[in-house]
Copies of this chain bind each other. A is one copy, B any other.
Amino acid sequence: MSETWHGGAAAVVTLTFDVDAETPILAQGRDYARHASTMSHQAYGPDVGLPRILDLLDELGVPATFFVPGWVAEHRLGLAGSIVERGHEVAHHSYGHRPPTSMTPQEERADFVRALEVFADQGIEIAGHRAALWEASWQTARLVAEYGLLYDSSLMGDDRPYRISAGSGEIVELPAHWSLDDWEQYAYLPAPHIGSVIESPAKVLELWRAELDGMRHYRCLFNLCVHPFLSGRPGRAQALRRFIEYALTCGDVRFARCRDVAEAAAADPEIATRPHREPVVDPGVYPV
């Protein structure tokens, strides 16, 4: 069984935490740095949510992957290293959390490399990447391959790992999806205006359990995306705890770091290869 990406499990859970701190807000306008409440709302993530989540993972004995923007690793020295010391993976989540689709190719490359340099300086070995806002350009995967990373986790073309050809080589895609992101459920800010109604942890737990059950039926990758500034809050942390406890009691669910899934997938000859190229669009059909 060990040659398959799933190792015989009905579903594989990768718990991933996007430790964004202030970056997604500053990426919407650097003037938001003047907003003390908003900045404190974001600082809660690394300062309060992250240690709480690390303790929770210890208690439950499950591994996880933390996608950290280079800016955050640089401005909070020791953060990335302390995650690795607890047995988890740190992965590349851009430098400044600006979405690749909002940058020129040159800007995207510079941002990508700058983050790699931060992690290299801190002795953090990086195996994978996730684009800010899951807004990859077609260049993004090529950068992932060019810089020797094993996997990307920004696309949504399947719910199982798949291979894509990306310029100089092939990489593994660990696909994500908005329905397994706590942002759409919990995020709310007045400026920049984000979110609408705030959901209860009970609803989110119901959603995640239903998706896990569906994925156990279809043998999928449950690639959960959680933000410490959101799910680090007490009631939500307890919902996350209950979700993990539920998955553990299923008996057929495996928890793994993204890099471990990617390595297994890279060695699995049966995972799909999916096309990865920009659609050719006729301006006569779509004039604008």
Contact = CB atoms under 8 A, between A and B. Distances in A.
A81 interface: no
A214 to B, nearest CB: 3
B185 A214 contact: no
Nearest to A39: B279
Contacts of A60: none
Given A35-B137, A178-B198, A211-B235, A281 B30 contact: yes
Integer count of this chain's copies in the complex: 4
Interface in A230-288: 233-239, 274, 276, 278-279, 281, 283, 285-288
B190 A186 contact: no
A191 B288 contact: no
Interface string A126-150: 0000010111111011000000000
Contacts of A177: 41, 233
Contact of A210 (B38, B157, B235): B235
Interface stretch (A12-20, A43-51, A84-92, A116-124): A43-51
A288 B188 CA distance: 22
Nearest first, the 7 A-B pairs at minimum CB distance are A214-B234, A214-B235, A30-B286, A211-B235, A40-B157, A200-B207, A41-B156
Interface of A: 22, 26-27, 29-30, 33-41, 43-44, 47-48, 52, 71, 75, 95-96, 98-99, 101, 131, 133-138, 140-141, 154-159, 175, 177-179, 184-186, 188-191, 195-203, 206-207, 210-215, 217-218, 220, 233-239, 274, 276, 278-279, 281, 283, 285-288
